[in-house]
Amino acid sequence: MIRELKCPLCGEVLDNLQCPSEECSFSDTYTIVREDTSLDEVIDQLKAAGAYINVGLQTLIIPGLTVDTVYPLDGERAAILASFLRTTFGMTQRTMQANNALSLCHRMRAEDVGLPKVVKSGEYPLMDRVEGKLVYLGQQIHKGYYYQGPRLTPQDHGGVFERWIDSFRWASGQDRQLLRAWLLTLFAQRYVPPGRYPALLLGTHSGSSVGKTETANMISKIFGRMISRYWSPGVAKEADREMVSGEHRFFCADNLVADKSGVISGGHLSEFITRESFETKRLYSTGGTVRVEKPTVDILTANYPILALDLLQRVVAVGLRNKPVEGHGDWIGTWTAQRREILEEGLWIVQENSKKFGGEVDCSCGYSDFRYPLWYSLAVECAGEEFTPFPEDSCVGCPLDLVLERLDNDNEPLSDLYQQIKGASGTAAKLFKRQVGEFSEEKICGIIERWSKDYKVIEKDGVKWLRTK
C-alpha cells in the first residue's frame, strides 16, 4: 500500500503535491526544522531506513516494503523531500528563513552526510573479495551497488546450474564452455571496470528461429533486467536516459544487420561496448548534465554474422543451433521458477573455484592481442578452468572471408595468396585492409585461424596452405 502524503498544515491529502484547500497557506517555501531535532539526527534516521543516493539520477531513495520512495535533490521539487521529512519524521514548522528546505536538499550529498552512494541497483547478487578469494557476503549496499533481491545462501543444489547451461541451444562444447564462463563471471562483475567487459554475441548459421533473442531474455530473467533495441547509431543516446538509473544490467543490440558490403560494421557499436561512462541530461528539468559510469553489460544477436575486425575484438561469440529445449514449450518459465537455486549454486561454484585457484588469477588466453585480459583471468577463476575465447567452429566470420570468397582460390600457398589479398578491391576488402593495419603473413594466418567461418590454414612440408572447412 502506498502512503498518502498529507498537507503538513491542514492535514488534507495532497493532490500532485498541492493542498486542495483554498484556505490553507501551504506552499513549497515552507520550512520543516524542529527545534529539538538536528540535521545529523535526520540523516541517522534516513540511514536507518536504508536510504541511499543514486548518483545517476541525483535522487535520494528510501526503500519501502513494496515500493521505494524517490526524491530529487536539485531544483524546485526539493520541496517534495521537505514534505516527506515533515510528515514521516514528525518534524514541525518553525518560523525562519523560507528556503531552508532547499538548502537541506542541496546539502544532501553522499560524501557530505555519510549516506551510501550507488551507481547500480537491482536484484542480482555481486561477490566480494576477502583475503583475495571471491565470496558472497550479501550486503545490501556495498561498493556502489544496492542489492534489492532476496537473501541468498551459496550452496550446491544438485547440479541445477549445469543443467540450466545444458538447456541452452549452444552449437558445440566450446560454445557451452564459453557461455558458462561468461555467465559465471557476472557474479564478480564489479571487478571488471566498465568498458572492459566483452559483449556476448549470440550468433547462428542456422537461420532465424533458433532462439537468439529468447536466449538473451533467459539470461536477463536470471541475472537482471535488460533493455533491448534494434541497433542504430542513435539508439545509444535514446537508451542513456533509461540506463542512468542503474536498474538495468544488460543492453541487448538485437538482430544486427550487415551493410551493403555484407559486413556488420563496428563504428558506433564498438565505441558503445568499450565506453566507460556516458553523459545524459539531468531529470526534472533541472538543467545541466550528469556523467555516470556505464551500468550495463552488452549482448548482441545476429544471423550469419560477418563482423568488422574492431567489433570482433570486442565480443565473445557463442554459436546457437536448432535443438529441443527443456520446458515443455515454456523454456524461460521453467527455469525462472528455479532462479534462486540457479543463483545460489552459481555463487557456490564461483566460491569453490576461487578457493581452488587460491584467489586472483593472472593468466593469458594465448592471444597477445586479446582485448580483455582482466576479464579472461577473472573468468578462469570463476569457471574453474582455462578456455579459448575463440571456438574452432565459430559462429562468426570476418571480412577476410568475403575477400577470399571473391578470389575464388582455396588451394594456394598462403604466401602467394597473401599478395592477392593485398591487391584485392571492393568494399569488404578496403574495410579489412584499413582495420588490419600493417600486413604480414603471420597476421593473416592468425585472423583466419581465429575468426574465419569458412576457411582454415594447414601446414604441409613446412608450407602453409589455405583450405575450406
Express each pLDDT in 378-433 by its tens digit: 999 999 998 888 887 778 888 778 777 777 666 677 777 777 777 777 777 777 77
pLDDT tier for residue 32 given thresholds of 50, 70 and 90 = very low
Residue 60 lies inside a defined structural domain of this protein: yes
Residues 375 and 417 in one domain: no
Helix/strand/coil (H/E/C) assignment for every residue in 2-18: CCCCECCCCCCECECCE
- State the DSSP code for 256: E
Q: So what's the pLDDT on residue 97? A: 35
Residue 153 lies inside a defined structural domain of this protein: no
Under 8 Å between Cβ of 190 and 382 = no
Single out the residue in 383, 407, 438 at which a domain terminates.
383
Q: So what's the pLDDT on residue 91? A: 45
Q: Which three cell numbers stand for residue 147?
A: 542489492
How far, in Å, CA of 417 to CA of 444, rounded? Answer: 10
Residues 266 and 310 in one domain: yes
Residue 65 CB burial class (10 angstroms; 0-12, 13-18, ≥19): exposed
Residue 18 lies inside a defined structural domain of this protein: yes
Give the domain range for residue 353. Answer: 160-383
Q: What is the mean pLDDT of the chain?
A: 77
Q: What is the pLDDT of residues 252-266, one digit of tens each?
A: 999 888 877 788 877
pLDDT tier for residue 34 given thresholds of 50, 70 and 90 = very low
pLDDT at residue 281 greater than cutoff 80: no
Q: What is the pLDDT of residues 301-352, one digit of tens each?
A: 988 888 888 888 889 999 998 876 665 568 898 899 999 999 999 999 999 9
Structural domains in the chain (count): 3
Residues 105 and 244 in one domain: no
Q: What is the pLDDT of residues 105-116, one digit of tens each?
A: 555 566 666 777
Residues 374 and 297 in one domain: yes
Under 8 Å between Cβ of 82 and 30 = yes
Residue 94 lies inside a defined structural domain of this protein: yes
pLDDT at residue 177 greater than cutoff 90: yes
Residue 390 lies inside a defined structural domain of this protein: no
Residues 264 and 410 in one domain: no
- State the DSSP code for 170: B
In 145-178, which positions are buried (b, 16+ CB within 10 angstroms) versus exposed (e)?
bbbeeeebebeebeebbeebbebbbbbbebbbbb
Residues 407 and 371 in one domain: no
How far, in Å, CA of 355 to CA of 349, rounded? Answer: 10
Q: What is the pLDDT of residues 181-190, one digit of tens each?
A: 999 999 999 8
The larger pLDDT score, comparing residue 60 to residue 297, is at: 297
Q: So what's the pLDDT on residue 58? A: 67
